[in-house]
Structure 1
Amino acid sequence: MKLIVGAVASGTGKTSVCLALAAGLIKKGIQVNGFKVGPDYIDPMYMELVTGKTCYNLDPWMSSQEHVQELVSGLPGLSLIEGVMGYYDGPDISSSTGSTAHLTGILGSPAVLVVDARAMARSFGALVRGFVDFEDLGKNIKAIIANGCGSQRHADLLAKALNGSGLPPLVGAIPKKALPELASRHLGLQTPDSREVDPDIEDLFARAAEQYLDLDGIISLAGQTSDPGLIPGFRFQEQSGQKKIRVAVARDRAFNFYYQANLDVLVRAGADLIQFSPTKDRHLPQDIQMIYFGGGYPELYAYELSQNKSLRKDILSYAGSGGHIYAECGGLVYLCRDLKILNGQVFPMAGVLPFRASMLGRRKSLGYVRVSFENDCLLGDKGAEIRGHEYHYSEIEPIKPGQKWKNVYQVENSRQEPKDTLGISLGNVLASYVHVYFGHRPDVAQRIVEWIRGE
């Protein structure tokens, strides 16, 4: 069984609705596998908190259709897939490629559309009609959830507006503030920390689902998944017969933006992943061949990171001795000489790269990117390409000629317009603001492992 939850626009509450659905279905004894459309890191963390299982990203722009199909196929229970932005929104305004609608076609999955119902009655039907009829993929919208209902009478009016026009039925009407509030925002949703989240949040979501959603109707809908003609994907087997490389993965409150599929394919290529905390651990793990710094919010923990002097010293020494380091976005910021936050305070960072990272009051970059390599590097040979995503509110400086580092990336956005994003290479360090996705690319994972082995 599969079900995609889309929405008319960002901010209509589909994340909370998805969490309520997951909690309600689990309470009914159904096994729920969570997924998130697009490059988002935060929403999957919330889904993992509710389901207790890894939530994978499904992104047909950064990866392949076969990879998306393979991640979802053959799973027990119900695969619950949270969409991205509005139902038809993706990287290209001229098509629905990469959108929630696109995923319904790839997976043969029915969709529930979440609609903000405030201040609407009959117009609710007109809005839904527009989404259903806009493209053929609108026919995959099989049911509607009204969010922000004013009363039961309001919900009844919305249901009549749909039924009277031959539109998909209403399977949920959620009053304003009926769902638990998620954590406060910092550049988007705050990362969920189980120590800071209401311990009863799963039960609160489940009770809301039982009260305001037609769970039996939704289960029946999810069982109507069609066969899209799944293309057999590769089943990349774990490499055997060679010693694993030990990769230290920075993972704590400051660094937690990783695509799970990237980590999976690294393990299958021969990497042994050892997690450590840059805010708490005083030293690097022993006998490692590489450090992997993902993204995150180092600016929120700049004081803790700066105070961990022994670990910063370890990292600087490791890099200076030729150790391999790969860093993305927040990881790049941490490798810099120091970090200046918005109130003007400056905190020393690892000092591996000769830059100051400065937080900005407005977003610096957001969107999908294509990367081609100007030189051989950890991720591929000169001329090879990979895709990824950028999202950051910081910049690094000074960018001066004559420094020891070199740029090994040529970057363009999804519209094939050039960007000035760097791929900074210094010794055996590679760092960039780009979050790359290679979960569908065993060749990239094998390249990383072989590069580290020196093969």
Structure 2
Amino acid sequence: MKERSAFVIAATKSGSGKTLLALGLLAALVRRGLAVQPFKCGPDFIDPTLHKMVANRMSHNLDLFMMGEECCRRIFARAEAEADVRIVEGVMGLFDGGVASTAALARVLDLPVLLVVDARSAAESVAAVVKGFEVYDPQIRLCGVVLNQTGSARHVELIRGALAQSCATPLLGAFPREQQFAMPERHLGLHMGEENPLSAGQLARLAAAVENHIDIPALLAATVRPLQPPSQVPPPVRPVQPRLRLAVARDAAFCFYYQENLALLAAAGFDIVPFSPLSDLTLPPAIAAVYIGGGYPELHAAALTANESMRTALRQWAEKGGLLYCECGGLMYMAEELTDTEGRVHPMVGVFALQMAMRPRFSRLGYRRVRLRRDCFLGRQGDELYGHEFHYSEPAGKAPAIECLYDLDDGRQEGYTRHNAIGSYVHLHFGRTTGSVDHFFRHALSMQTRREERE
């Protein structure tokens, strides 16, 4: 494919089917022999794993609040030379989310938008909705409409006629109701791609449905994008010497990581060394720091408790002053105990004097701006970091008497610290403040140097 295509898949509202359409398009384009690079607008950890499952390529988050415009442009441009098609799956409705909306990202990246519309119980009114999306923001270019949940061929033709009469955006496809594909969900959303929520047969049927119901050649023709001159693509950051080993928890319990964070840590000088708190008996050898991200410790609490050897290794690492950074699920694991939704209490690592408990509804949700209260391995006092939180657990009982490193923009103090450990419910993204990873590396290098001198 000589020409490159790039576009955003957005919807009029959440629940319209954009994730399934994105997966179906990825599968159909891969079956055509095209190299397809997926992206996800927003902070979601799960959809990128589904993209990877289908496209056989790592999917990257693009989030204007957490990462800023420069980082989003850099990541998107980096994939151009290696991909025939770049697809950005949006979040919520096209204009929902303010500065971090799908529309805002489409403007920053100068991308056309394929609009998904749920057509249930509507006909000509669909044209009114599309017309509203056409004129609401003149900077947004709609390249096509895909209908979902259509009732019959007659239903589609009624909408097609109304669109042709009133709108400039062409109808590029329509999915009938009987073509719906269900995906399993749980409290934090869909299942991770590594869990294969769609079988090979389901993916094949989804790809075939897209081929049958969407005009793929017209879509690719409408989204051709001129190749960016190589000089405009920032060169990759060169690795530095010496390298340090960063142990990163990667298993079914701890699987929420932003790929760009890991890339930035590697560029700063860390070699990423995966380990499993579920199955490994101890930490990897010769490490300089430990990073435990979010995930589903509540689903694996019994197994985490049973691996007493790993819990002891992590507790001793922290008590000896080892660098330890943990987010959300990682923070839950570092608590003294975790009470699940059935009321069962599971002993955890015990780095922080916290008793965590799962709640039936999410406890907190939203973007967070973090200001450091004092110097630490993430930066200097007063530095600002950006992230988000979304969790169903919270500390039980009265507020713990633990030092907090973070002043959050909602007025709370958080970012628990003890020894050289930091634990927080906030998932930080380092793309907007890349100095944090450099500070992390320099701090780890200084500690390692002092340790070697003592030895």
Residue equivalent to 1:215 = 216
Give the C-alpha shift of residue 426 in structure 1.
0.4
Residue by residue, what CA displacement relative to the aligned partner does 1:376-407 show, whole Å, maximum 9, x if unpaired? 11211000101110111111145556x4x311
Residue equivalent to 1:13 = 17
Residue equivalent to 2:452 = none
Give the C-alpha shift of residue 183 in structure 1.
2.3
CA contact (8 A) 2:118 2:148 kept: yes
Q: Is 1:434 aligned to 2:432, yes or no? A: no
Residue by residue, what CA displacement relative to the aligned partner does 1:409-438 show, whole Å, maximum 9, x if unpaired? 0001xxxxx232511110010010000111
Residue equivalent to 2:238 = 238
Q: Is 1:420 aligned to 2:427, yes or no? A: no
Q: Secondary structure at the match of 2:350?
A: coil
Structure 1 segment 32-431 matched on structure 2, within 5 A:
32-73=36-77, 74-75=80-81, 76-90=83-97, 92=98, 97-138=99-140, 140-194=141-195, 197-223=198-224, 225=225, 232=232, 234-240=234-240, 242-398=241-397, 400=399, 403=401, 405-412=402-409, 418-431=410-423
The share of aligned pairs that are identical, in percent, is: 36
Residue by residue, what CA displacement relative to the aligned partner does 1:193-212 show, whole Å, maximum 9, x if unpaired? 34564133332221111111
Specify every segment of 5 or more residues in structure 1 that has no aligned partner in the other structure, as ranges. Answer: 413-417
Distance 1:204 1:47 in 2: 16
| Paired amino acid for 2:193 | P
Give the C-alpha shift of residue 79 in structure 1.
0.4
Distance 1:232 1:421 in 2: 41
Distance 2:32 2:150 in 1: 25
Specify every segment of 5 or more residues in structure 2 that has no aligned partner in the other structure, as ranges. Answer: 448-455
Distance 1:84 1:324 in 2: 35
Give the C-alpha shift of residue 442 in structure 1.
3.1
Q: 1:228 to 1:83 in 2, by over 3 A?
A: farther
Distance 1:231 1:423 in 2: 40
Q: Please, what TM-score do these two structures have when normalized by structure 2?
A: 0.92
| Paired amino acid for 2:102 | T
Distance 1:419 1:43 in 2: 31
Size of the aligned set, in residue pairs, is 440
From the two aligned structures, give the one with the greater helix fraction.
Answer: 2
Q: 1:151 to 1:70 in 2, by over 3 A?
A: same
CA contact (8 A) 1:108 1:228 kept: no
| Paired amino acid for 1:301 | H
For the aligned residues, what is the CA RMSD? 1.9
Distance 1:236 1:379 in 2: 22
CA contact (8 A) 2:90 2:102 kept: yes
| Paired amino acid for 2:316 | S
Q: 1:399 to 1:327 in 2, by over 3 A?
A: farther
Q: 1:148 to 1:377 in 2, by over 3 A?
A: same
Q: Secondary structure at the match of 2:291?
A: strand
Distance 1:196 1:313 in 2: 34
